[in-house]
Amino acid sequence: MACALVLFGYVQKKSGQAAQKYKVAVIAKSTESAFWKSVFAGANAAGTEYNVELSFQGPETEEDYETQNRMIEQAAADGVSAIVFSAVDYNANAKAIDEAAKKGIKIVVIDSDVNSDAVSCRISTDNYAAGQMAGRAALLCPEERLYVGIVNFDEKTANGQEREAGFRDVVEKDERVKYIETKTVLSTTEDARQKTSELWRGRPEINVIATFNEWTSLGVGWAIRDLGIKDKTTVVAFDSNVVSVGMLETGEVDALVVQNPYAMGYLGVEKAYQLLTGQKLSGEKMDTATTMVNRDNMFSEECQKILFAFD
């Protein structure tokens, strides 16, 4: 009888919560990559579970912070109760987020941080640790001397800079490393492809390349294929895309640091809902897992689930 009463009370509470449907805007850095589609899938699952009305949007490119700021302003004008946000620019997005928060909108950050004290919860990969993971993979290169190239995206984006810092802190300690050179690119496949080729042609001794997001990973992989240097270069890349996984299999890429974007999306909406229903999460940080996938483990059941989780 006691169990029946507990269950009845639980159902009544859930039913009461469902009476108010909150509006939450998910504003991403872009919308077209496999990474962001997986984020949206996770967010949508949480939206369904918690009866939240969601909108999904992001700029066409991952450098366009101005469009993001307009999206924040429009979301506030549309009367959203919370914004789940991934910042293109750590500093340039801050004012728009602060202004939204002044209107009582709850702010949850996923993936890429913003320079704002108004954020109630931050959910992301531990980007510094992920960079360290990439650094350890790069040092598996068997050569006696290592000449390292980094192809990194927008230097104003927090997560890319944190990943590079972690990578450098590991790699610089190895006596085999003779230099590390960074090439900053747009977060597009084509720009990363072109500038990787330029980097290698300028320094053809480079035998290790690291890159830190989905689009740049594809660009680096294509450049390695264009140049015909897959047997001469150890490439460590980020994220899971059907093309980059193919490159892992065929040798243009040697290791992928795979994040958990589905969890970022799900937890982002879940935490927004918790804030809106009175739970205090001030300053809370949540680390979503990363996994190192290489040719030795890519066909394991665990890695297959990670690589193709929501295709």
Q: Write down how long the chain is.
A: 311
Q: How far apart are CA 172 and CA 289, in angstroms?
A: 25
Residue 277 burial class via C-beta count within 10 angstroms: exposed 0-12, middle 13-18, buried 19 and up? exposed
Instruction: Write down the pTM of the prediction.
Output: 0.87
Tell me the per-residue pLDDT of 40-80, one tens digit each, with 9 for 90 and over. 999 999 999 999 999 999 999 999 999 999 999 999 999 99
Residues in CB range of 283: below 8 A, 6 or more apart: 120, 121
Q: How far apart are CA 177 and CA 146, in angstroms?
A: 5
- Confidence bin at 129 (pLDDT 50/70/90): very high
Q: How far apart are CA 271 and CA 154, in angstroms?
A: 28
Strands 284-288 and 119-125: parallel
pLDDT at 11 over 80: no
Enumerate helices (H) and strands (E) in the chain, giving the number of each: 11, 12
Q: How far apart are CA 52 and CA 84, in angstroms?
A: 12
Q: Please give the domain boundaries of the chain with CATH numbers for all domains.
A: 2-123+260-290 (3.40.50.2300), 128-258+294-307 (3.40.50.2300)
214, 243 in Cβ contact below 8 A? no
Question: In Å, what is the CA distance from 25 to each residue of 98, 119, 147, 272?
Answer: 16, 15, 44, 10
- Confidence bin at 20 (pLDDT 50/70/90): confident
Sign of torsion, CA 148 154 157 159? Answer: negative
Q: How far apart are CA 251 and CA 106, in angstroms?
A: 45
Residue 115 burial class via C-beta count within 10 angstroms: exposed 0-12, middle 13-18, buried 19 and up? middle
Which among 234, 212, 209 is positioned nearest to 128, based on CA atoms?
212
What is the rounded average pLDDT for all residues in the chain?
92
What does the pLDDT read at residue 310? Answer: 56
- Confidence bin at 308 (pLDDT 50/70/90): confident
Question: In Å, what is the CA distance from 3 to each residue of 13, 15, 124?
Answer: 16, 18, 38
